[in-house]
Amino acid sequence: MKDKFLKFISNPKYIFGIYLLVAVLSAIAKLNGGPLKYNNYLIFTNVFYNTLHENNIYLHYPDIHFDSNHYGVFFSILIAPFAMLPDWLGMPLWNVANTLVFLFAIHKLPFSNQKKAFFAWLCLQEFITAAVSLQFNIALAGLLMLSAIYIYERKETQSAFFIMIGFFVKLYGVAGLSAFFFVKNKIKFIGALIAFGILFIVLPMLLSSSHFGIQSYADWFQSLSEKNVSNQVLGNRQDFSLMGIVRRVLGDASISNLTFLIPGMAVFALPYLRIKQYQNLPFQLLILSSTLLFIVLFSSGSESPTYIIAVAGVMIWFLIQKEKTPYVIGLLIFVIILTCFSFSDLFPKFIKENYIIKYSLKALPCCFVWFRVIYELLTKDFQKDYKLD
């Protein structure tokens, strides 16, 4: 019995199957709850129809959904196949499509099958959180990993493709450039970025017009600027970030993002000074881990479903550790309990509302891991201190 259990949890195909099942069941549950329960999906599909009819995709449409869209106009192309289907079919397929991108990225990681399965099991709770919200963040986590993995494989065109998809949907995709210094053929890579950039600008114009496409980028900038201001409100369900922790502990929502971003980016960039380590794959993977954590911890737009990205970064860090010391295991447990299960029934409502949400504590364990990652990037010998098998 024990051997069968170990075989089950160490085989990626079983946990991958569970992911796909959760994706479908999450969508069905939301569908059965009525439009208010799948508001995110209605916002997404309305991006397609508003682009088609050349309506501003960033305005509020209270007769269709509450809140507003914050994705780029290119998203209208991605959501189009699902938007044209009835919700009962399009919604599950949308969740499955996002899940497949994430699972494909896990499959491509340079780990053993056992480690890939372990990765997926430990990300499951955060995946459920994002899947229930019908979030694109699931796919975005996969896109960011794939953009780096294809650079490791010297497939610059594929990497550029995934970077630009993420960038034109949610801007986070630009973080894929964190692996730029590991690119062997930089001219080919830059050329592919430019080519896909032009293609992704033009494609939405085929649904609408060139004027609408260009205007949408100006509207996007305004939308993101307004959203950033609205995110920096004490006690809401946004700003689950390092910045949010400081703002909420100090009770000062006016502290600028730049107060954190400038020193944060400087710290993030320091490991790039270790040029001799560039050739080591564990170093490259730890840069990816740092990237996945950084973009969540230094964004005022980070909310609970965004943490599928950060937790993926945590798992990459953990799995390449040669020695699983008590400190390393303790950090992982800290992430699982307070980050992954902070909004579950594990914590009483009083704790969630008065501590976890009030002080953005969901971000705290990942902050500890990110600083640990930076420490390792600056001090370790990646040829002998890490393993990938």
Which pLDDT tens digit goes with each residue over 357-373?
Answer: 999 999 999 999 999 99
Q: What does the pLDDT read at residue 2?
A: 64
Rounded CA separation 172/309 (Å): 10
Following DSSP, what letter does each residue of 123-138 receive, concatenated? HHHHHHHHHHTT-THH
| Residue 262 confidence class, pLDDT cut points 50, 70, 90 | very high
Q: What is the pLDDT of residues 45-65, one digit of tens each?
A: 999 999 999 999 999 898 888
Q: 247 pLDDT exceeds 80?
A: yes
Q: Could you report how far apart the first and last alpha carbons of the chain are, in Å?
A: 26
Q: How far apart are CA 321 and CA 236, in angstroms?
A: 36
Beta-carbon contacts of 127 under 8 Å, excluding residues fewer than 6 positions away, are 19, 22, 99, 102, 138, 308
**Euclidean distance between CA atoms 370 and 363, whole angstroms:** 11
Confidence of residue 346 (pLDDT cuts 50, 70, 90): confident
Give the global pTM.
Answer: 0.95
* CA dist., res. 193 & res. 200, Å (int): 10
The pLDDT tens digits of the residues spanning 201-238 come to 999 999 999 999 999 999 999 988 887 776 777 777 78
The predicted structure's pLDDT at residue 171: 87
Q: According to the model, what pLDDT value does residue 238 have? A: 80
SS3 content of the chain, % helix, strand, coil (to 5): 75, 0, 25
Asked if the model's pLDDT at residue 152 lies above 80, the reply is yes
> What was the pLDDT predicted at 66?
84
The strand pairing partners of 386, in sequence order, are 321
Of the chain, the percentage scoring pLDDT greater than 90 comes to: 76
- Say if CB 280 and CB 382 are below 8 A apart: yes
- What is the pLDDT, as a whole number, of residue 162? 97
Residue 366 neighbours by CB under 8 Å, 6+ apart? 293, 296, 297, 307, 310, 311, 313, 314, 335, 339
Give the model's confidence band at 239: pLDDT under 50 very low, under 70 low, under 90 confident, else very high. Answer: confident
For the segment 101-113, the average pLDDT, to the nearest whole number, is 96
Q: State the pLDDT at residue 255.
A: 87
Per-residue pLDDT at 33? 86
What is the residue-averaged pLDDT of the chain? 92
Predicted local confidence at residue 211, as pLDDT: 94
Mean pLDDT value of segment 239-267: 91
Segment 315-339 shows an average pLDDT of 94
